[in-house]
Structure 1
Amino acid sequence: MSTESADTGTEESDPAIEVSPDAAEEALSLLEGEGLDTDIAGLRLFVQQGGCAGLSYGMRFDNEPEDDDLVVEHHGLRVFVDPASRNYIGGSTLDYEHGLQAAGFEVENPNVVSECGCGESFRT
């Protein structure tokens, strides 16, 4: 398992996934609400086929990382990224947006070359 911690400054050769304080706070609150141990469990961030531009983001909570996951920790939140997804989202930042009409997690990805009109899918 590849581990990278923003809190300790450890770096791997893979571009890191950054997490904003707002995103970490929201995800940790949701993890705790699900009764998961935040010292072991975390948020899985992945890329899947789908959407009009070809790829879309997915997120879910996992009890623990897989052996080949990149694991990053920011502000107490553990984020798990599988090797295939890492190629698409390395260097991205996970944020949480608060808005009048909607609130939710958002991935700011420097690898995206185009997005669909609704913003739900992308192409690298």
Structure 2
Amino acid sequence: MSTGATTDGESIPEIEVSESAADEALSLLDGEGMDTDIAGLRLFVQQGGCAGLSYGMRFDTEPEGDDQVYEHHGLRVFVDPASMNYVGGSVLDFEGGLQGAGFHVENPNVVSECGCGESFRT
């Protein structure tokens, strides 16, 4: 399930979620005792980092009224309109490994990232 995002009449590509990211987030939501039929993962963009913008993620019990809501592999993802302008068309993935596990946003709108990969510029 997803709702179409538009900005000034132009369609913004939706957010995709890999199966591994959905599985990990759903497991974490369940561990927090949150209802995965209503609750979800909020993906947002904030000012910060050496490149100017950084991603934020948190669990929310429900979407806000103006959020875009996407559902992939049973995970609901909430994105506010301002953040949608920066992350439209992105893929949320989960990577594990010796260097540490975590969620990663593959964003086609990024023109440069800082050296550590924690912030970006569009």
Amino acid at match of 1:55: L
Q: CA deviation at 1:113?
A: 0.1
For normalisation by structure 1, the TM-score amounts to 0.91
* 1:8-40 Cα distance to aligned partner (Å, 9 max, x none): xxx553310000000000000000000000000
Select 2:32's aligned residue among 14, 17, 34.
34
Tell me the C-alpha RMSD between the 2 structures: 1.2
Amino acid at match of 1:20: S
Task: Give the whole-Å Cα distance in 2 for the aligned partners of 1:114 and 1:62.
Answer: 29
Matched length: 117
Counterpart residue number, 2:56 = 58
For normalisation by structure 2, the TM-score amounts to 0.92
Are 1:112 and 2:110 an aligned pair? yes
Amino acid at match of 1:88: Y
Q: CA deviation at 1:86?
A: 0.1
Amino acid at match of 2:115: G
Q: CA deviation at 1:101?
A: 2.0
**% same residue:** 80
**Secondary structure in 2 matching 1:48:** strand
Task: Give the whole-Å Cα distance in 1 for the aligned partners of 2:99 and 2:42.
Answer: 26
Unaligned runs of 5+ in 2: 6-10
Counterpart residue number, 1:46 = 44
Q: CA deviation at 1:72?
A: 0.2
Alignment of 1:1-124 (within 5 A): 4=2, 13-124=11-122
